[in-house]
Every structure is written in C-alpha cells, then in structure tokens.
C-alpha cells in the first residue's frame, strides 16, 4: 500500500493515464468533517447557543447540541496531515488537528482531488447522521434550523469549490410539508440531490412505502433531485459496529465485521422500495444506494424476481414490471473496493446504473493508489462503459457539467 505522497502522484500519472485519458472522474460518495463554526457562524442570535458547537467536556473536545453533549468532536477521517493513511479502529482517537485539512476545508480537498485524478465529488455529512437522524429526540424547531443552516453552508461550499464539491441536502423528514419545501429550497440554491431518513417508522412516522410520502417523491421527480440512501441512514442503522459482531471479537474485528455487514442494510431499503409501488407511481424519480457496493445486487434482483412470482403474485398487481426492471430504470449503486469479476456484475446491472466512489476521508476509503486500483478493476471494459461508470452516469444524475 502506497503512503508517500510523491509515490501516489507518480502512480496515478504512470499507471492510470491510459485507462482514464480524457475522463473527468466523479466520485459519488465522500464526506465532510464539519468545521466547528459551521452552525454558530451562521445562526441567528436567538439560536446561537443551541445549535451544534464544540466545547471542552471533561478535557475532551465535544459537540454540544441544545446545551448538552452530542458526540465527540471526532473527525471520522483517516488521512493524516502528511498525506499518509491511518489504519485500524484507533482512527476513532484522532482529533481535528490530527487529520488532513482536506477533510473539512475546500482548498486542501481540491488539492487532494487534483493529486488523485478526481474532478468532482458528491459530499455527505457526518455529524447529523447520513439520514439526518442523530438529533431525533431534540426539539423539532431546533432540528429545523440546524438542517437549514447546514444546507446553507453546503450551498456556500459548493460555490467556493467552483462546483467541484457537490453536497447533498438534508431534509427535515419529521414534517412532510417542511420536507418538500426544503427540497425545493435546496434546488433553488443549486444543490443537486437530497438525503433522508431511510426508516422514518423508527420515529413513529409512516414508512417510505406509504402514500404519506408521495409529495416528496413527486417533488424530487419534478425537480430532478436524486434521492440518496446512504448506508447507516436511519436510527436503527447508524452505528459502525451494529449488532453483527460477536462479543468475543476484538475492536478492530468488530469494526471490520460491522462495516462489511452495514453495506447489506441497503438491501432491505432497496427491496422495500421496489415492492412499495414508489417506482410505479413516480417513474422518473431516481434512487441511489450509497456506499453499499454492487456485487450483491444481481443476486438480490434475481431473488426478488423469483420470490415475487412465487410468493406474492396476487398482492402486487399494482406493479407492472419486475423488481429488476424497476432497478434498471430508476436505481443506481456505487462501488469502490470491488474488483473481482466486476465486469460481469456491471453487465448484469447495466452500465447506466453503476457509479464510482472513494468514501474519502473515511476509514474504508480508496486513497493513494485510487485510480490505479480502479484501472485494474475496469481496465478491460470498453471505453464507453468506463466513461459512464466513472463520469457520465453521475454527471447526468446530479446535473454536473463536464465541459467547464
């Protein structure tokens, strides 16, 4: 594994040049380590003491929300200031000054992207959760102002980056009218997609298959806003370890097991969406499974096509297509570490439905020899397929101009 920055740059230039010549690579899953002043610098005076902010708590930098501890000020990043990568569960002990400034600042992030051969990145949050669920037991008005300030800051970040960093907007999913209004506002600010709670029923709301949510699907379809479901994007799915590892496993082992199994949590989300009728009622809405990989999806779709005919033929008369057909029309998934026989996986899913990610700067991210590893995975594919997966699929979905 390469760790020296000079070696990284040489590798990217020498071994990936042919495979990616002329392709503006778009990375569809990265994360922002939120700056300490993201909310306090933008909050109205009446809210300034209540919005997320960092204070010392028992000698440890800690995020506070509404005057109470909300979580350690931990950057969830593994890239160190010298450009090397930190490995293992001990990354959770790193603090903001211990990691590369590209985790939280625009200019250093763009420098990393340029060295890595990445043109643009889709950006997801850390602090509030991948579905805006971590503050579920707080005052709804506080959650609303926290959400809108975050989206304001993301619009500013996108502009500062010259349209190369493209954050997805959070939604106030606990209020359907406010959710639709915030999706409309996000679009008006130039943001390119949204993320929401994958399991609102955890908080006593209707699940996403119920007609209650039709105004959201209708808005996202009419606004051409992709709806992104990031792994861990609900109250019951947001821990790194989860309940999968056995108690006897060491911390590093628990993190590896929990991390791997978290990818499959999106199988449940996709399956329920495919059976729910959402894609039937809203044939232009676009749905994305983020940071879940792709190797398991062909099996799932074949399984669902079989099961729906065997076990539920009478109860799904409202569906005019097979689950696999809805997927190919309206769903997308992204890969990063997979390379074994990935050409066959892509052929089964369709090369219009697959995109590329790195998960920068999280612990499982591709980093250093990023494009070299992707060249190994995709190098034998036709140039048109490589271009779709690395660039034009994401450009079309997220409305990213490639001729800037």
Per-residue pLDDT at 362: 95
Does residue 5 have a pLDDT over 60? no
Q: Based on the domain organization, do 150 and 265 belong to the same domain?
A: yes
3-state class (DSSP) for residue 196:
coil
Domain that holds residue 328: 5-33+78-398
Give the start-end residues of each E strand in 112-250. 120-124, 165-167, 169-170, 194-195, 227-230
Closest alpha carbon to 349 in 301, 279, 386: 301
Closest alpha carbon to 165 in 201, 200, 123, 205: 123
Burial class (CB in 10 A: 0-12, 13-18, 19+), 246: exposed
pLDDT band with cut points at 50, 70 and 90 for residue 4: low
Q: Based on the domain organization, do 262 and 227 belong to the same domain?
A: yes
- Highest mean pLDDT range out of 252-256, 355-359, 367-371? 355-359
Closest alpha carbon to 199 in 209, 187, 188: 209
**Domain count within the chain:** 2
Burial class (CB in 10 A: 0-12, 13-18, 19+), 280: middle
Query: Which CATH number goes with the domain that contains 119?
Result: 3.20.20.140
Q: Based on the domain organization, do 68 and 124 belong to the same domain?
A: no
**What order do you get walking across the sheet with 165-167 strand by strand?**
26-31, 120-124, 165-167
Q: Based on the domain organization, do 68 and 101 belong to the same domain?
A: no
Q: Report the C-alpha gap between 168 and 10 in whole angstroms.
A: 32
The tokens describing 152, both together, are: 């304001």
Does residue 15 have a pLDDT over 60? no
Burial class (CB in 10 A: 0-12, 13-18, 19+), 320: exposed
The Cα-based distances of 366 to 291, 295, 361 in angstroms read 12, 17, 9
Q: Based on the domain organization, do 159 and 44 belong to the same domain?
A: no
Per-residue pLDDT at 8: 46
Contact 348, 386 (CB under 8 A): no
Better pLDDT: 252 or 101: 101
Q: Based on the domain organization, do 186 and 61 belong to the same domain?
A: no
Q: In 10 A of CB 79, how many CB atoms?
A: 25
Better pLDDT: 373 or 113: 113
* Residue 108 maps to a domain: yes
* Residue 404 maps to a domain: no
pLDDT band with cut points at 50, 70 and 90 for residue 13: very low
The tokens describing 177, both together, are: 């009218």
Q: Report the C-alpha gap between 76 and 258 in whole angstroms.
A: 16
* Residue 138 maps to a domain: yes
Per-residue pLDDT at 372: 87
Q: Based on the domain organization, do 253 and 373 belong to the same domain?
A: yes
Q: Report the C-alpha gap between 86 and 287 in whole angstroms.
A: 33
Does residue 9 have a pLDDT over 60? no
Q: Based on the domain organization, do 181 and 55 belong to the same domain?
A: no
* Residue 403 maps to a domain: no
Q: Report the C-alpha gap between 30 and 300 in whole angstroms.
A: 26
Q: Report the C-alpha gap between 348 and 351 in whole angstroms.
A: 9
Q: Based on the domain organization, do 26 and 56 belong to the same domain?
A: no
Average pLDDT, the chain: 92
Asked which of 74, 104, 125 is the last residue of a domain, the reply is 74
Q: Based on the domain organization, do 68 and 170 belong to the same domain?
A: no
Does residue 363 have a pLDDT over 50? yes
Q: For 201, list phi and psi in degrees, rounded to 5.
A: -65, -20
Q: Based on the domain organization, do 197 and 62 belong to the same domain?
A: no
Q: Report the C-alpha gap between 354 and 361 in whole angstroms.
A: 21
* Residue 161 maps to a domain: yes
Per-residue pLDDT at 259: 77
* Residue 335 maps to a domain: yes
Least confident of 111-115, 139-143, 167-171, 310-314: 310-314
Contact 289, 272 (CB under 8 A): no
Asked which of 74, 102, 133 is the last residue of a domain, the reply is 74
Q: Based on the domain organization, do 67 and 49 belong to the same domain?
A: yes
Helix 5-20 / helix 106-116 crossing angle, nearest 10 deg? 60
Handedness of CA 264, 272, 219, 130 (dihedral sign): negative
Mean pLDDT of 391-401: 98
Residue 139 CB partners (closer than 8 Å, separation 6+): 66
Q: Report the C-alpha gap between 394 and 161 in whole angstroms.
A: 18
The tokens describing 340, both together, are: 């074994």
Does residue 292 have a pLDDT over 60? yes
* Residue 112 maps to a domain: yes
* Residue 367 maps to a domain: yes
Residue-by-residue DSSP string for 300-331: HHHHHHHHHHHH-TTTTTT--S-HHHHHHHHE
Asked which of 23, 52, 74 is the last residue of a domain, the reply is 74
Residue-by-residue DSSP string for 350-390: -TTSEEE---TTSTT---SSHHHHHHHHHTTS-HHHHHIII
Q: Report the C-alpha gap between 302 and 311 in whole angstroms.
A: 14
């Amino acid at each position: 594994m390469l760790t020296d920055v000079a070696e990284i740059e040489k590798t990217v230039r020498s071994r990936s040049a042919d495979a990616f010549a002329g392709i503006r690579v778009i990375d569809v899953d990265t994360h922002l380590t939120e700056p300490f002043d993201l909310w306090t610098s933008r909050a109205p005076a009446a809210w300034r003491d209540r919005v997320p902010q960092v204070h010392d708590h028992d000698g440890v930098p800690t995020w506070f929300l509404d005057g109470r501890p909300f979580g350690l000020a931990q950057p969830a990043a593994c890239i160190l200031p010298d450009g090397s990568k930190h490995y293992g569960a001990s990354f959770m002990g790193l603090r903001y000054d211990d990691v590369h400034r590209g985790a939280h600042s625009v200019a250093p992030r763009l420098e990393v992207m340029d060295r890595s051969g990445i043109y643009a990145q889709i950006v997801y949050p850390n602090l509030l959760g991948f579905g805006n669920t971590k503050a579920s037991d707080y005052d709804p008005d506080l959650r609303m102002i926290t959400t809108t300030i975050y989206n304001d800051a993301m619009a500013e970040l996108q502009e500062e980056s010259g349209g190369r960093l493209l954050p997805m907007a959070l939604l106030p999913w606990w209020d359907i009218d406010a959710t639709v209004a915030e999706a409309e506002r996000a679009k008006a600010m130039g943001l390119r997609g949204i993320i929401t709670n994958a399991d609102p029923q955890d908080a006593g709301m209707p699940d996403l298959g119920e007609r209650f949510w039709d105004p959201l699907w209708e808005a996202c379809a009419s606004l051409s806003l992709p709806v992104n479901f990031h792994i861990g994007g609900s109250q019951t799915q947001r821990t790194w370890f989860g309940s999968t590892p056995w108690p006897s496993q060491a911390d590093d082992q628990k993190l590896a097991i929990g991390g791997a199994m978290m990818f499959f949590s999106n199988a449940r989300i996709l399956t329920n969406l495919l059976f729910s009728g959402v894609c039937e009622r809203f044939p232009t809405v676009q749905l994305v499974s983020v940071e879940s990989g792709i190797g398991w999806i062909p099996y799932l779709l074949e399984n669902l096509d079989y099961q729906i005919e065997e076990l539920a033929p009478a109860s799904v008369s409202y569906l005019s297509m097979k689950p696999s057909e809805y997927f190919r029309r309206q769903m997308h998934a992204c890969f990063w570490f997979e390379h074994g026989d990935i050409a066959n996986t892509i052929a089964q899913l369709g090369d219009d439905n697959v995109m590329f990610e790195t998960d920068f700067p999280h612990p499982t991210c591709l980093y250093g020899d990023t494009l070299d590893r992707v060249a190994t995975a995709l190098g034998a594919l036709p140039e048109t397929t490589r271009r779709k997966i690395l660039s034009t699929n994401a450009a079309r979905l997220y409305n990213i101009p490639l001729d800037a």
